[in-house]
Amino acid sequence: MINYVLPDKINGSKMHELLDRVPYLSEKIRKVSYDEATHSVNIGIDTNDEEEIDNLHRHLNEIVETLRYSKIITQKTIRSRKSENASKRDYDYSLHAYFDEDEFELYRMLDYFFLNIAKKYNALIRDYPIILNANNMSRNNYHKNFPQNVFSVSHVPHNYEQLQQFREAEQHDTGNIFVHHGQYLRPCICYHCYEEFQEQSVDQPIIVTSQGKCFRHEIEWKVNRSRKNEFYMREIVFIDKPEQVVTLRDQIMNDVWSLFEDIDLNGSLVSARDPFFYYDDLKNKGAYQLMSHAKYELEAESRHSSYSIASFNYCENLLCQKFNITDSDNEYLHSGCVAFGIDRWMEAIFHRYGKEKKNWSHIAGGLYLYA
Ligand SMILES: [Zn+2]
User: Mind listing the pLDDT tens digit of every residue in the chain (371 residues)?
Assistant: 889 999 888 888 788 888 888 888 988 999 999 999 999 999 999 888 999 899 999 999 988 888 887 767 677 899 999 876 665 566 666 667 889 998 999 999 999 999 999 999 999 999 999 999 999 999 998 888 888 889 999 999 999 999 999 999 887 788 889 999 999 999 999 999 999 999 999 999 999 999 999 999 988 888 887 788 999 999 999 999 999 999 999 999 999 999 999 999 999 999 876 533 333 444 444 444 444 446 899 999 987 788 999 999 998 999 999 999 999 999 999 999 999 999 999 999 998 888 888 888 888 775 544 44
At 236 the three-state DSSP class reads strand
- In the reported structure, the alpha carbon of residue 53 is separated from the centroid of ligand 1 by a whole-number distance in angstroms of 38
- In the reported structure, the alpha carbon of residue 342 is separated from the centroid of ligand 1 by a whole-number distance in angstroms of 14
- Residue 79 has, within 13 A of its CA and on its CB side, a CA count of 15
- In the reported structure, the alpha carbon of residue 193 is separated from the centroid of ligand 1 by a whole-number distance in angstroms of 9
At 162 the three-state DSSP class reads helix
- In the reported structure, the alpha carbon of residue 189 is separated from the centroid of ligand 1 by a whole-number distance in angstroms of 6
- In the reported structure, the alpha carbon of residue 288 is separated from the centroid of ligand 1 by a whole-number distance in angstroms of 18
How far apart CA 214 and CA 346 sit, in angstroms, is: 16
Closest CA to 124 of 184, 187, 185, 192: 192
The pair phi, psi for residue 208, each rounded to 5°, is -130, 145
- In the reported structure, the alpha carbon of residue 168 is separated from the centroid of ligand 1 by a whole-number distance in angstroms of 42
36 Cβ contact list (under 8 Å, min separation 6): none
- In the reported structure, the alpha carbon of residue 351 is separated from the centroid of ligand 1 by a whole-number distance in angstroms of 26
